[in-house]
Amino acid sequence: MAIQVTVLPNSGFSISLTFHHIVADGRSLHHFIKLWASVCKKTGDSTSPKATLSLPFHDRDKVKDSKGLKLIYLQELELQHPPPEITGYMQDVFTDKVRVTLVLSRERVDQLKKWITHKSISYDSGTQHMSTFVVACSLVWVSMIKLEQRKGDYCVAKGSDELCYFLFLADCRGRPELSFPSTYFGNCLAFCTVAMKKDEVVGENGLIEVANAVEREIRNWKSDPLQNAETSISDYRELLKPGKSLLTIGGSPKLAVYETDFGWGKPKKSESVHLDTFRIVSMSDCRDKDGGMEVGLALEKVRMNDFINILEQQFSKVVCD
């Protein structure tokens, strides 16, 4: 991990961090940052309550590895040309893209939840509770595929029967079968992948079908956190090949990035810088709105305007229906 603090005269400062995913995941990183911040806050204010965060847990010997994943992953990482997402290095920075942080308010998220749940009753009797994460991911993925279809994006395989892939990461801490304590410092993420035909994603009931598919994948992971764990890295490599339509979600509102307080209140802004390089959309809690979400993405300027318009059209459909 590397940390850089940049002082902005008469304005403030920024803290930039980069870290290797072999060592830690987002939850480990943000637990470390919050612990660091709580120590700084206590040092600067003798009246501040004592830090309540526990120290990170580093004992790897406590981790159960019933499937021998350690050896499998080491062998995967020894391949000659691992993709940059696995090595942790950024190879290219695109200058023709703009970065935008979209705010999904709690009111809009609740509207989506109610609409998708209502529509799903007749569509899928097995539908469970639609979470904020599920509806937000569904909205973003549908909008992105519609954008790619509109522009004839080269990353989208031609033909409506071709598959589009959506990948998100699940935190394995707290799973009794894995024995990871909540403060475990390491990478405890499992790959969750949803594959759907392009015409299903962009179809009349696309938002409903996608939400149900994402929710089912979460249920499947909860029933077996290590499903397909032996092939997760090799499967991911396949999805990164040219011609594949893949969108990955990075981060989570549960990381509570805006609850980090060094003694000066909430951060003004939190961003994931690697969005410029990879096909990743970030999600985090919202600084100024309780229950809202911040969605970060990077696209060419014209495509960004189109994406926002498509997103608004999806919301309009929900409100008017």
Residue 213 is part of a domain; what is its CATH number?
3.30.559.10
pLDDT means per 10 residues in the chain (321 residues)? 92 89 89 90 63 81 82 80 48 72 92 89 65 94 90 52 92 82 89 94 92 94 90 89 90 91 91 78 88 90 92 85 70
Q: State the pLDDT at residue 4.
A: 94
Give this prediction's pTM.
0.86
Structure tokens at 259: 């609850």
Q: State the pLDDT at residue 278.
A: 64
Q: State the pLDDT at residue 216.
A: 93
- Dump the DSSP string for 130-173: --HHHHHHHHHHHHHHHHHHHHT-TTSPSSTTSEEEEEEEEE-T
Measuring CA to CA, which residue among 214, 252, 196, 207 is closest to residue 134? Answer: 214
Considering its fold, how many domains does the chain have in total? 1
Catalytic residue set: 21, 261
Q: Which residues contact 178 (CB under 8 A, 6 or more apart)?
A: 63, 64, 172, 188, 225, 226
CB 4 within 8 A of CB 16: yes
Q: State the pLDDT at residue 92.
A: 54
Measuring CA to CA, which residue among 107, 119, 104 is closest to residue 308? Answer: 104
Structure tokens at 22: 């072999």
Q: What totals of helices (H) and strands (E) does the chain contain, helices first?
A: 9, 8
Q: 98 is in which domain, residue-wise? A: 2-320
CB 207 within 8 A of CB 116: yes
